[in-house]
Amino acid sequence: MNYQAYEDKNIEEYQNRFQMGRLCARVLASHQLNEEQLQEVLNPPKLHNPFEAVGLKAVVDRLKAARDNNEKVLICGDYDADGICATAIAYHALSRANIICGYYIPNRFKEGYGLHPHTVEMAKEKGYTLLLTVDNGVKAYEAAEKAAELGLELIITDHHTVEGKLPKCSLFLHPQKMGKPFETLSGAGVAFELSRALIGEDEEMLILACVAAIGDVMPLWRETRSIVRMGIAALNRGKGMAIQKLANQMGAWDETKISFQVVPKLNVTGRLADMANANMTVRYLLSQNRDEIIKCSKQIGDLNELRKIKSEEMTRKAMHLVDDQYLFQVLHDDSFHEGLTGLVAGKLASQLKKPVMVLSGFEYLRGSIRSYGNLNLNEFFQDGQSLFDAYGGHPKAAGLGFDRAALKQVQKFVNHKMDRLEVSDEEVRSYLPLQDGDLTLSQVQELQRLKPFGEGFPPTLFAYRMKPDMKEKTMREGKHIKWSNDQLEVVKFNCADQIPLWKKRNDLIFYGTLSISAFRGNQKISLMAEDIQ
């Protein structure tokens, strides 16, 4: 990893114009925002009128007609955090609007992603006449044909990229069609706008849309920025009992806490679909029974701990399969858990500094790919689609499936492509060097004014050069390490193998994010180290 310092520009101008301290002005200036973005950060807008969203009124009118005609509506969801939250929001809204409805999230392993023809057949048998997808649907071609054949109407609400023509549907609600304010919405964000139009404002649903936006790494601009900012504020007022109980620790809520303590637990029932059911997570999110929430949150937490153990075991096993001669690792073992392939591929890509494909299964292989450096997976596999029965994803992450007999051919394909490509793994991160006078409680606390940070507006990476008076201390049996003096504490987690390299040195530079930690009423400035050089 290479680092370069931001050049301080316009600091005094920002201080005077926005009435802020020097550290806050340095951070704001480093993002190089345009005027519209500056106003969104410093003067956060309220939520837009949902009826401003193009296409939303037609969906609301059709759902109200279903209510008037006593039709049954099936909400068809997805098994990740965004899809689970979207399903919960839609079910809550339709139920409160007195629309007869049910919901269904497919099993990741038995059924796979999205709406399937057999789900349409099941809906027909149970008397549903209207299908409403949330966080999926733009690729449900076969299911849409089956719905038309059986006389069921299909409404698609989704936020995934539309490639080519749409499946057959009566109505389509999508952020790219809804208008500029709504362009950054997640699947749950779309469901939330529909909920607001049907039943008005609801803080519990706002919180779910906030969590989903963070879980799906949506750009924190426009309506999504308002949803996340207001959702975090609601959590800090004690709202959202089901989400509150998923947190590992008490204390203030922010986007980091949601990302690390809540989102993995919402994802776990989808990842470990052989041990749990994502439909039950929807029920959990909608529960108002405190005893049930406490009981279920513990079960979800225990399942997530098991997921961590299994992920670590699988990562270790995958490491033994790595062949250093290959620039693109293709790793398969019959024992690999399908729901964990993405997590393991991500860890290995980061460690090996190479793109990694991790596959599970016996005769038929399913798995995940994670890129590294500047490699765009969509472009890389553009002329290799014939190798796979299924492929989909983003430039940095993708999922796929193919017959085991093609495994050697897949490795041969990626080897050939990598030999012909110039792939740079050199990543340059920009940072702000901490200056004398920056490290005061008031200066660091003022950074809250710029939150939430996330996709499109990331938290600033700071650099701090070790001072001679800093004392080091290892924690948790040598798993973590901390350096501290009267001015600052620096903490690096899960670094046992590197600690011997750093101990008793006085020439380290710490790169990380700033926050205020509190212990027994005492506040201290903390730098959470991402890297140490």
Cβ–Cβ < 8 Å for 158, 189: no
State the pLDDT at residue 290. 95
435: pLDDT confidence band, cut at 50, 70 and 90?
confident
Q: Give 10's DSSP letter.
A: S
What's residue 2's pLDDT? 80
Amino acid letter, 403? D
Residue 47: DSSP 8-state: P
Nearest alpha carbon to residue 134 among 92, 180, 179: 92
Q: Are 38 and 20 in contact (CB under 8 A)?
A: no
Longest distance between any two alpha carbons in the chain, whole Å: 76
Q: In terms of DSSP H, where are the helices of 113-239?
A: 117-125, 141-150, 175-178, 187-199, 203-215, 222-236
Spatial contact of 449 and 24, defined as CB atoms under 8 Å apart? yes
The pLDDT of residue 171 is 98
Q: Over 241-302, what HEC string results?
A: HHHHCCCCCCCCCCHHHHHHHHHHHHHHHHHCCCCCCHHHHHHHHHCCCHHHHHHHHHHHHH
Q: Which of 95, 82, 52 is nearest to 199 (CA)?
A: 95
Q: Quick one: DSSP state of residue 154?
A: E
Tens digit of each residue's pLDDT (9 = 90 or more) over 372-430: 888 889 889 988 888 998 887 778 888 899 999 999 999 999 999 998 876 665 667 89
Mean pLDDT of 447-470: 92
Q: How confident is the model at residue 368 (pLDDT cuts 50, 70, 90)?
A: very high
Looking at residue 106, what is its pLDDT? 94
Q: What is the rounded average pLDDT for all residues in the chain?
A: 93
Q: Distance (Å, rounded) from C-alpha 167 to C-alpha 223?
A: 27
Predicted local confidence at residue 298, as pLDDT? 96
Percent of the chain at pLDDT exceeding 90: 76
pLDDT in tens, 74-131: 999 999 999 999 999 999 999 999 999 999 999 988 888 889 999 999 999 999 999 9
- Which pLDDT score, from 0 to 100, does residue 427 have? 67
What does the pLDDT read at residue 105?
A: 96
**pLDDT the model gives residue 7:** 82
Strands 509-519 and 462-465: antiparallel
- pLDDT score, position 247: 95
C-alpha to C-alpha distance for 372 and 193, rounded to whole angstroms: 36
What is the side-by-side strand order in the sheet with 356-360? 329-332, 356-360, 364-370, 397-403, 390-393
